[in-house]
Amino acid sequence: MRLSENTLAQLPSSIGRPAYDRRKISASIVHLGLGAFHRAHQALMTEAVLNSGDLAWGIVGAGMQSSGMRDALAPQDCLYAVAEFGADFERISVVGAIVDAVGGAEDAEKVRLLAKMSDVSTRIVSITVTEKGYYLDLATGKLQLQSPAIAADLANPALPRTILGLIVYALRNRKAAGVQPFTVLSCDNLPNNGKLARAAVVAFAREVDAELAAWIEASVCFPCTMVDRITPATTDADRAHINERLGVEDAWPVVTEQFVQWVIEDKFSMGRPDWTLGGAVFSDEIERWESMKLRCLNGSHSTLAYLGQLTGRETVAEAMQLPLITDILDALWLENREVLQAPKGVDPADYIEQLKQRFRNPALKHRTAQIASDGSQKLPQRLLAPLRERMAKGVPSPAIATAIAAWMHFAVKTAHTSGGVLSDPMSTEILAQAGKSTDAATIVDNLLGLQKIFGQDVPANTAFRAELLGKFIELAKNPAVATATQITA
């Protein structure tokens, strides 16, 4: 039997469920990027608002590329279970905040989505599409006009597929109809995510109509946010366990940790839910929150992922068992702390201690392969940002160098593995550089030459280049690390 409105009453009493009448909800939030993270984070915070009796904030969730989530959710009235797992903790709740799911792979669905976003009922458009979904060249901040997806959206205003096409054409429709613009709420792991979203949207709009671009610049709110909740892809074992607890079948439950954090800049043009009811914080210190999180959590996550992949550790919790890796992380955190501006009231030492506990959570099977994806999109804000601050101070950064060397070895190993696939929008360029030579210095220089990732300043810094090469060779010689075998120093 499937989870649905009709089977809600049969759930065991230990399972949380909506305490409100779902038929009375107004769908005023459109969320682009209907994945596990949104369902474990913003949707759950919105559920707390609905549970408080404010039914003005239902969510229409849209897949961007696939219809898989819509196919899973639609037959269950868009209800789904969130399982929060810790070492000695388990809480499962069924969430009702998503009232409609849009499939990302079908033209008719894209038309329906654009119509909903153009309608006055939509007050907020929120986004989780990961770094690459903004089509920005992160080193220069420029829109990737040469990207086929952007070119297609510029050519096809009736059927946009990227967030930029959808947002700009919906705003154009609203402007034409005299409807107020919605707020664009980026919830991706990017520094100043609201500003980046604004830059991408305005740059796209300029290609469409200069006057529209000026109107967007003047009247659309793009608050910045810091989002945090470790939410791995759901495994078959998780699904089986959760469904056993539910007593009915949820085709795609979400597994996450207990910890949750959302810090939001309070800048909304058509109102907003009181997400503080779900634990969110409104703050004007987003930049500090975001850079602390990106560097201390995500930077060490990426480091764990590449070192984990090289040492045969499948999950983050397994990688946290290896002193070789935790020693590097400790050094990385120290390097970060030396250039960190923590938000008021936050002690970085406590924050980092809590991260260690979160990474060790044995109940989460967070695959290092999942985090290792899209390195080209992640390295700049996670590792290169603190590196640049340290370079400006003239201090060495051996731990950051080790982390980048680990990414390089991961790329080289993939290039030398027959059938090896690098999950990264820049995979072709990266693998070409990584596979060209077996000489350590040449490999390091070739990869450092990828300007879209490293810019010009990082490769030009001879002290750092030497440090990186030293760490690259050190990892190649370490018997616990399985790099591509043919590297010569």
The residues binding ligand CS2 (CB under 6 A) are 189, 228-230, 298, 301, 370-371, 378
Q: What backbone torsions phi and psi does residue 79 show, to the nearest 5 degrees?
A: -80, 150
Residue facing ligand CS2 at closest CB distance: 301
3-state secondary structure at position 227: strand
Distance CA 277, CA 83 (A): 19
Nearer Cβ to ligand CS2 (28/225): 225
Tokens for 345? 């009231």
Closest separation between CB of residue 295 and ligand CS2, Å?
12
Nearer Cβ to ligand CS2 (110/358): 358
Distance CA 372, CA 308 (A): 9
Nearer Cβ to ligand CS2 (404/469): 404
Find the helix or strand (DSSP H, E) in which 185 lies: strand 183-186
Tokens for 232? 């791995």
Tokens for 262? 């959302």
Closest separation between CB of residue 158 and ligand CS2, Å?
33
3-state helix, strand, coil in the chain (%, to 5): 50, 15, 35
Closest separation between CB of residue 302 and ligand CS2, Å?
6
Nearer Cβ to ligand CS2 (223/375): 375
Strand partners, 134: none
Closest separation between CB of residue 251 and ligand CS2, Å?
23
Q: Could you tell me which residues come within 8 angstroms of residue 395 by beta carbon, excluding any fewer than 6 positions away?
A: 338
Closest separation between CB of residue 379 and ligand CS2, Å?
11
Nearer Cβ to ligand CS2 (240/369): 369
Q: Could you tell me which residues come within 8 angstroms of residue 3 by beta carbon, excluding any fewer than 6 positions away?
A: 76, 79, 80, 81, 94, 246, 248, 249, 250
Contact of 35 with 62, CB cutoff 8 Å: no
Closest separation between CB of residue 37 and ligand CS2, Å?
7
Any idea what the Cα angle at residue 256 is, between residues 253 and 258, rounded to 5°? Answer: 135
Closest separation between CB of residue 204 and ligand CS2, Å?
25
Q: How many CB atoms lie within 10 A of CB 463?
A: 12
Closest separation between CB of residue 229 and ligand CS2, Å?
5
Nearer Cβ to ligand CS2 (147/370): 370
Distance CA 454, CA 378 (A): 11
Give me the residue label for tokens 């967007």: 216
Nearer Cβ to ligand CS2 (171/263): 263
Closest separation between CB of residue 165 and ligand CS2, Å?
25
Distance CA 43, CA 203 (A): 29
Nearer Cβ to ligand CS2 (123/378): 378
Nearer Cβ to ligand CS2 (65/370): 370
